[in-house]
Amino acid sequence: MLTKDGIIKSIKHGFIEWVESIGASINESVKGLGNIVLFTVNFFYWVFKRPFRLHLLVDQLFFIGNKSILIILLAGSFTGMVFATQTYFGFKLINVDSLVGAITAIGLAKELAPVLTGLIVAGRAGSAMAAQIGTMKVTEQVDALEVMGINSIQYLAVPRIVAGTIAVPMLSAIFLYIGNVGSYLVGTTSLMIDEAIFFSKLSEFMHVADIWQGIIKATVFGFVISVIGTYFGFQVEKGAEGVGRGTNLAVIWGMISVLILDYFLTVVLVRIL
C-alpha cells in the first residue's frame, strides 16, 4: 500500500533523476561544443602547414560546388518565382507592386540565397563529408593515414572545410542570380510588371551592401557546415550504424547552425554594412 512518505520519496526520486538527466545532457552538449571548438582550432593549425594538397581541394570544390549547381539552379529559380508571386499579391493591395523585383532581389540577396544554399549544402555535402570520413574511420583507413605519418585532419578535413568555405558563397551568388532571373520572368510575363519599372526600382532600392551581407553569411555557413560535417565524420564509431548516426547528426546540426547563425549574423551585419 502506498503511504504518504512513500509517495513523497518517489516524487523526490523522480525529480532528482529528472534534474540529473538534464544535467547530463547539458554536460554532454557543452563537451560536444568544446570538442568542435578544439577541432576548429586544430583545423586552423593544419590549414597553414605544408604540404598543401591542392588536388584534394580541387576535388572537393568539384564535389561541393559543381555537383550542387543543378539543385541550386532549380531551387534558386523557383524560390525567386514564388517569392515574386507572393510579394506581388501582397503589394498589389497597397499599390506598390512595382517594388516586387527590388524586394525579391533584396530578400534573396540578404536571406534566401545564403540560407537556402546553406541548407542545401548541409543536406548534400555536409552529410557526404560525415559519411565519407566516418566510413574511412570504421574501416581503419584513417588509422592507415596516421600510421603513414599523415595527419588525418590535414588530409581529410582541411580540403573539405576550405572547399566548403569557398564553394558556398559562390553557389549562393548563383542562387541569387538565377532567383532574380526567375523573379524577372514571372514579374514581367505573368504578373505584367513593366520591365523598365522592374529594373529602375531594383537599381534604386538594392545596394551592394545587400549582396555583401549575403556573401559574408554564405561564407560563414560554408565554413560551419563543413566543420560540422567533418567533425561528425571523425566522431563515428561502431560500424555502419555509427556512420548513419554521424551522417544524421551532421545534417541536423549543419542545418540548425545555419538557421541560428543567420539571426546573429543579421544582427551584426545590418549594423556594420
Q: CA 36, CA 157: separation in Å to the nearest integer?
A: 13
Q: Taking contact as CB under 8 A, which single stretch among the options 137-145, 174-182, 206-214, 234-242 is the one that binds other proteins? A: 137-145
The CB-of-50 to other proteins minimum distance in angstroms stands at 11
Size of interface with other proteins, in residues (CB under 8 A): 14
Check residue 143 for interaction with other proteins (CB under 8 A): yes
Query: Would you give the DSSP letter of residue 83?
Result: H
Q: Pick from 1, 2, 94, 147 the residue near other proteins by CB under 8 A.
A: 147
Applying CB under 8 A, does 20 fall inside the site for other proteins?
Answer: no
Q: Which amino acid is at 141?
A: Q
d(CA 210, CA 109): 6
Q: What angle do helix axes 208-234 and 239-272 make, rounded to 10 degrees?
A: 160
Mark residues 41-70: x for contact with other proteins by CB under 8 A, - for none.
----------x-------------------
63: nearest Cα among 133, 125, 135: 125
All three cell numbers of 25: 545532457
Cell of 29: 552538449
Of 148, 192, 196, 272, the one binding other proteins by CB under 8 A: 148
Residue 237 binding other proteins, by CB under 8 A? no
Q: Report the C-alpha gap between 177 and 164 in whole angstroms.
A: 20
Closer residue to other proteins in complex, CB, 66/139? 139
Per CB under 8 A, residues contacting other proteins are: 51, 135-136, 139-141, 143-144, 146-151
